[in-house]
Amino acid sequence: MRTTSVGIFKVATTGPGDVSGLMAMIGSGAIDPKSILAILGKTEGNGGVNDFTREYAVAALCTALAPQLGLTPYEVERRIAFVMSGGTEGVLSPHITVFTRREAERPAGLTGKRLSIGMAHTRDFLPEELGRSAQITETAKAVKAAMADAGILEPADVHFVQIKCPLLTSERVAAATARGNKTATTSSYSSMAYSRGASALGVAVALGEISSDVHDEDVLRRYDLFSKVASTSSGIELMHNVVIVLGNSASSASAFEIGHAVMGDAIDAPAVVSALNSVGLGVAPQTSADRALVNIFAKAEASPDGSVRGFRHTMLEDTDISSTRHARAAVGGLIAGLAGTGAVYVSGGAEHQGPAGGGPVAVIARLSD
């Protein structure tokens, strides 16, 4: 059985085009660029349709890594999974998390399952497939492929599935229309929700969280159907889904462990505490000598019923600020308070990712052994 070791490096950025931190770590030998599997980032755009900080960050990273890898920037983008989540509202702080993987012997004394990472991607979708069963089914297939890639055998060992998925633009809608087909929505902004939702349902299907009998009309309607570990972000820069599975595996020799919990609503502090506890951590300030917080990955959304624990929220009826920005700011404030840092990955738009109004929260800890 192949055993791997995973490295994780959290690097603050001074702007979406800033690659200096990563380059310094490559220069010092701390990171071998050839081992980079995925980069998850928080960039400081609006997280909406016209958030160009995501593609700018990816372009900057590809351009910088190209000579390191002996590839063109375009080839770098095909090799490494880049997931940029726009929106660092409130106390959230722009940063990237670099995941590396290499073949490694598992030391004899190593106990328990350790963090492992796997990847896969779907075929390109047609605009009219977004937010519908085609996207669900193809995503489920890719999740299983990514689990295999990670050496994770049991769905229970999967703690976070990050997916990057497409959105609709005016041009893409027009292309579908020209073929005589209707898209799930004609609004770019709404399409982001559809794509995120269908992708999350694909995760739920793959992990057996829900039955595979999901239909087009369930997307963005049957909010009782959800995954507890899916995190999906839509972006303008691709037409297929990229799937990254994070979990614990007996075939991993890494120094990290991952766990998760599910926030039942946007103010579910106990769930955040539970996720921290699941990897041996507590609330800030951290006191454990042998475990350190690496990062937290969470999804946030405005409760679609317009209230949180019986009190009305105004996120969905605000024409000035999109609800995803509101939700990231609020959930980011809570998680940052409990974690003791704003450099956490809180991403908006949690359709079918956790229960309505809530969302998954995963924590990675570094073990000192």
- Give the 3-state secondary structure of residue 221: coil
Q: Which is nearer to its own copies, 108 or 178 (CB)?
A: 178
Confirm whether 164 is a catalytic residue: yes
- Given 272, 275, 296, 356, the residue binding its own copies (CB under 8 A): 272
- Given 27, 34, 50, 224, the residue binding its own copies (CB under 8 A): 50
Sheet holding 95-103, edge to edge: 4-12, 95-103, 36-43, 81-86
Q: Could you tell me the smallest distance in angstroms from the CB atom of residue 259 to its own copies?
A: 19
SS (H, E, C) 145-178: HHHHHHCCCCHHHEEEEEEEECCCCHHHHHHHHH
Q: Is 69 in the site for its own copies (CB under 8 A)?
A: no
Annotated binding site for substrate: 54, 85-86, 196, 233-234, 328, 347-348
Q: Which is nearer to its own copies, 264 or 280 (CB)?
A: 264
Contacts of its own copies in 158-187 (CB under 8 A): 169-171, 174, 186-187
Annotated binding site: 54, 85-86, 196, 233-234, 301, 328, 347-348, 350, 353-355, 358
- Given 35, 68, 190, 274, the residue binding its own copies (CB under 8 A): 190
CA distance 217 to 223: 11
CA distance 191 to 350: 14
What contacts 300, CB < 8 A, 6 or more positions away? 266, 324, 327, 328, 330, 331, 332, 346, 347, 348, 350, 359
Alpha helices for the chain (secondary structure H): 20-27, 53-69, 73-79, 133-150, 170-178, 188-206, 269-278, 323-339
- Given 9, 23, 46, 110, the residue binding its own copies (CB under 8 A): 46
Per-residue DSSP letter, 285 = S
Confirm whether 187 is a catalytic residue: no
Q: Is 347 in the site for its own copies (CB under 8 A)?
A: no
Q: Site map for its own copies, 17-36, x if CB under 8 A?
A: x-------------------
Q: Is 361 in the site for its own copies (CB under 8 A)?
A: no
In 3D, which of 61, 20, 234 has the Cα closest to residue 139? 234
Burial (0-12, 13-18, 19+ Cβ within 10 Å), 9: middle
Annotated catalytic residue within 164, 195, 228, 322:
164
Annotated binding site for Mg(2+): 301, 350, 353-355, 358
Q: Is 277 in the site for its own copies (CB under 8 A)?
A: no
Backbone torsions φ then ψ of 278, nearest 5 degrees: -65, -20
Per-residue DSSP letter, 35 = G
> Is 363 within 8 Å of 278 (Cβ atoms)?
yes
- Given 33, 41, 90, 202, the residue binding its own copies (CB under 8 A): 90
**Span from 38-46, 115-123, 136-144, 253-261 in contact with its own copies (CB under 8 A):** 38-46
Q: Is 295 in the site for its own copies (CB under 8 A)?
A: no
Contacts of its own copies in 97-156 (CB under 8 A): none
Contacts of its own copies in 297-316 (CB under 8 A): 304-309, 311-316
Q: Is 72 in the site for its own copies (CB under 8 A)?
A: no
- Given 203, 266, 279, 293, the residue binding its own copies (CB under 8 A): 266
In 3D, which of 353, 361, 295, 305 has the Cα closest to residue 331? 361
Q: Is 287 in the site for its own copies (CB under 8 A)?
A: no
Q: Is 286 in the site for its own copies (CB under 8 A)?
A: no
End-to-end alpha-carbon separation of the chain, Å? 23
Q: Which is nearer to its own copies, 280 or 337 (CB)?
A: 337
Per-residue DSSP letter, 130 = T
Q: Is 16 in the site for its own copies (CB under 8 A)?
A: yes
Q: Could you tell me the smallest distance in angstroms from the CB atom of residue 186 to its own copies?
A: 8
CA distance 286 to 281: 7
Burial (0-12, 13-18, 19+ Cβ within 10 Å), 329: buried
Q: Is 282 in the site for its own copies (CB under 8 A)?
A: no
Count the residues of the shown chain that bind its own copies, applying the rule CB under 8 A: 79
Q: Could you tell me the smallest distance in angstroms from the CB atom of residue 332 to its own copies?
A: 6
Which sequence positions are flagged as catalytic?
164, 233
